[in-house]
Amino acid sequence: MLEIKNLHARIAEDGTEILRGIDLVVKPGEVHAIMGPNGSGKSTLSYILAGKDDYEVTEGDIVYNGQSLLDLAPDERAAAGVFLAFQYPIEIPGVATMTFLKTALNAQRKARGEDELSTPEFMKRVKEKSAELQITMDMLKRPLNVGFSGGEKKRAEILQMALLQPSLCVLDETDSGLDIDALKVVSDGVNRLRGPDRSFVVITHYQRLLDHIVPDVVHVLSKGRIVKTGGPELALELEQKGYADFVDAAA
Amino acid sequence: MTIEPRTLETRAETDLAEAYYRDRDALPGGVAVAGIRKSAFDAFRRSGLPHRRVEEWKYSDLRARLKSVPAFAARRSDDDAKAALAALDDVYGAADRYRLVIVDGHFHAGLSDVAALAEAGVRVCPLAEALVEEGESLMRLPQIAAGDAATGLNAVFCADGLVLSLPEGNSLDKPVEIVHALSASAVSTSERVIVAAAKGARATVLETFVGGAEGSFSNTLTDIRAGDEAEVTVARLQAEAAGTTHVGSAVVTLGAETKVKLIGAGIGAGFARHQSFIAFTGEGSRADLLGITMVRAGQHVDQTLVVDHAVPHCDSRELFKTVVGDGAKGIFQGKIIVRPHAQKTDGQMMTQSLLLSDDAEMSLKPELEIFADDVQCAHGATSGQIDEDLLFYLRSRGIPEAEARTLLVLAFLSEAVEEIGEEIVVEAFEERIRAWLAAGA
Average pLDDT, chain A: 93
Same domain, B236 and B105: yes
CB B340 within 8 A of CB B370: no
Looking at residues A31-47, what average pLDDT do you find?
A: 94
B400/A103 Cβ within 8 A: no
State how far the Cα of B73 lies from the Cα of A212, in Å rounded to an integer.
78
Q: What is the pLDDT of residue B4?
A: 54
Could you report the per-residue pLDDT of A197-243, keeping only the tens digit for each? 999 999 998 888 999 999 999 999 999 999 999 999 999 898 888 88
State how far the Cα of A18 lies from the Cα of A11, in Å rounded to an integer.
7
CA B267 → CA A116, B242, B437, B441, distances in Å? 32, 10, 11, 12
| A81: closest chain B residue by CA | B398
Chains A, B: CB contacts under 8 A, how many?
80
* Alpha carbon distance, N-terminus to C-terminus of chain B: 52
Residue B390: which of A77, A92, A99 has the nearest Cβ?
A92
- Binned at pLDDT 50, 70 and 90, residue B6 comes out as low
CA B195 → CA A121, B174, B224, distances in Å? 49, 15, 5
Tell me which residue range forms the domain holding B437. 387-441
Residue A75: which of B400, B412, B415 has the nearest Cβ?
B400
- Binned at pLDDT 50, 70 and 90, residue B439 comes out as confident
pLDDT at B5 over 90: no
Task: List residues bridging with B363 in a β-sheet.
Answer: B331
- If one counts every other C-beta atom within 10 angstroms of the C-beta of residue A127, the result is 12
Q: Which residue type, as a one-letter code, is found at position B127? A: L
CB B226 within 8 A of CB B232: yes
CB B362 within 8 A of CB B324: yes
Domain closes at, from B282, B300, B324:
B282
Could you report the per-residue pLDDT of B253-296, keeping only the tens digit for each? 999 999 999 999 999 999 999 999 999 999 999 999 999 999 99
Task: List residues bridging with B315 in a β-sheet.
Answer: B286, B346
| B415: closest chain A residue by CA | A94
Same domain, B271 and B395: no
CB B235 within 8 A of CB B204: yes
Touching B: A residues 195-214, CB under 8 Å: none
- A-chain residues within 8 Å CB-CB of B399? 75, 103-104, 107
B404/A92 Cβ within 8 A: no
Domain closes at, from B282, B300, B315:
B282
Cβ within 8 Å of residue A173, ≥6 positions away: A42, A43, A87, A203, A204, A205
- A-chain residues within 8 Å CB-CB of B415? 93-94
pLDDT at A249 over 60: no
| B213 within a domain of the structure (yes/no) | yes
| B161 within a domain of the structure (yes/no) | yes
Same domain, B121 and B250: yes
Beta strands at B231-240 and B176-182: parallel, antiparallel or unpaired: unpaired
- Binned at pLDDT 50, 70 and 90, residue B135 comes out as confident
Burial B34-62 (b: 16+ CB within 10 A, else e): eebbeebbebbbebbbbbeebebbebbbb
Nearest Cα residue to B309 out of B288, B283, B334: B283
Report ipTM (2 d.p.).
0.96
pLDDT at B35 over 50: yes
Nearest Cα residue to B415 out of B338, B370, B366, B350: B350
B interface residues, A as partner, C-beta within 8 Å = 389-390, 392-401, 403-404, 407-408, 410-415
Looking at residues A190-202, what average pLDDT do you find?
A: 95
State how far the Cα of A64 lies from the Cα of A198, in Å rounded to an integer.
12
Same domain, B269 and B415: no
| B387: closest chain A residue by CA | A92
A73/B398 Cβ within 8 A: no
DSSP three-state, residue B111:
helix
Q: What is the pLDDT of residue A251?
A: 45
Could you report the per-residue pLDDT of B305-323, keeping only the tens digit for each? 999 999 999 999 999 999 9
Nearest Cα residue to A23 out of A193, A219, A188: A219
Same domain, B269 and B405: no
B408/A73 Cβ within 8 A: no
| B365 within a domain of the structure (yes/no) | no
Residue B396: which of A78, A93, A105 has the nearest Cβ?
A78
Q: What is the pLDDT of residue B32?
A: 94
CB B295 within 8 A of CB B324: yes
Please write down the HEC assignment for all residues of chain A. Answer: CEEEEEEEEEECCCCCEEEEEEEEEECCCCEEEEECCCCCCHHHHHHHHHCCCCEEEEEEEEEECCEEHHHCCHHHHHHCCEEEECCCCCCEEEEEHHHHHHHHHHHHHHHCCCCCCCHHHHHHHHHHHHHHCCCCHHHHCCEECCCCCHHHHHHHHHHHHHHHCCCEEEEECCCCCCCHHHHHHHHHHHHHHCECCEEEEEEECCCHHHHHCCCCEEEEEECCEEEEEECHHHHHHHHHHCCHHHHHHHC
pLDDT at B20 over 90: yes
CB A231 within 8 A of CB A218: yes
Cβ within 8 Å of residue A79, ≥6 positions away: A107, A108, A111, A112, B398
| A107: closest chain B residue by CA | B399
CB B112 within 8 A of CB B101: yes
Q: What is the pLDDT of residue B296?
A: 93
State how far the Cα of A231 lies from the Cα of A234, in Å rounded to an integer.
6
Could you report the per-residue pLDDT of A9-36, keeping only the tens digit for each? 999 999 999 999 999 999 999 999 999 9
Number of domains in chain B: 2
| B151 within a domain of the structure (yes/no) | yes
Measured between CB atoms, does A57 come within 8 Å of chain B?
A: no
Measured between CB atoms, does A41 come within 8 Å of chain B?
A: no
Task: Report the number of secondary-structure helices (H) and strands (E) in chain B.
Answer: 11, 20
Of all helices (H) and strands (E), which one includes residue B134? Answer: helix B127-139
State how far the Cα of A168 lies from the Cα of A58, in Å rounded to an integer.
23
| B417 within a domain of the structure (yes/no) | yes
- B-chain residues within 8 Å CB-CB of A79? 398
Same domain, B34 and B168: yes
Rounded to a whole number, what is the distance in Å from the CA of A181 to chain B's nearest CA?
Answer: 27
Domain closes at, from B255, B282, B309:
B282
CA torsion sign for B89, B123, B135, B308 is negative
CB A156 within 8 A of CB A135: yes
Looking at residues B114-119, what average pLDDT do you find?
A: 98
Same domain, B140 and B270: yes
CB A69 within 8 A of CB A63: yes
Residue A164: which of B389, B397, B400 has the nearest Cβ?
B397
Q: What is the pLDDT of residue B91?
A: 92
- Binned at pLDDT 50, 70 and 90, residue B174 comes out as very high
- A-chain residues within 8 Å CB-CB of B398? 75, 78-79, 104-105, 107-108, 111, 164
Same domain, B227 and B80: yes
- B-chain residues within 8 Å CB-CB of A78? 395-398
Please write down the HEC assignment for all residues of B271-337. Answer: EEEEEEEEEECCCCCEEEEEEEEEECCCCEEEEEEEEEECCCCCEEEEEEEEEECCCCEEEEEEEEE
Q: Which residue has the higher pLDDT, B320 or B7?
A: B320
pLDDT at A245 over 90: no
B411/A103 Cβ within 8 A: no
| B131 within a domain of the structure (yes/no) | yes
pLDDT at B441 over 70: no
B393/A107 Cβ within 8 A: no
pTM comes to 0.91
| B441 within a domain of the structure (yes/no) | yes
Measured between CB atoms, does A116 come within 8 Å of chain B?
A: no
CB B7 within 8 A of CB B45: no
A164/B394 Cβ within 8 A: no
Task: List residues bridging with B247 in a β-sheet.
Answer: B219, B273
- B-chain residues within 8 Å CB-CB of A51? 392, 395-396
- Binned at pLDDT 50, 70 and 90, residue B152 comes out as very high
* Alpha carbon distance, N-terminus to C-terminus of chain A: 31
Give me the phi and psi of B202, to 5 degrees please.
-130, 130
B414/A51 Cβ within 8 A: no
Give the whole-number percent of chain A exceeding pLDDT 70: 98
Task: Pick the residue of A47, A75, A90, A100 with the most B CBs within 10 A to test the interface with B by mutation.
Answer: A75
Give me the phi and psi of B94, to 5 degrees please.
-85, 0
CB B91 within 8 A of CB B428: yes
Looking at residues A61-73, what average pLDDT do you find?
A: 96
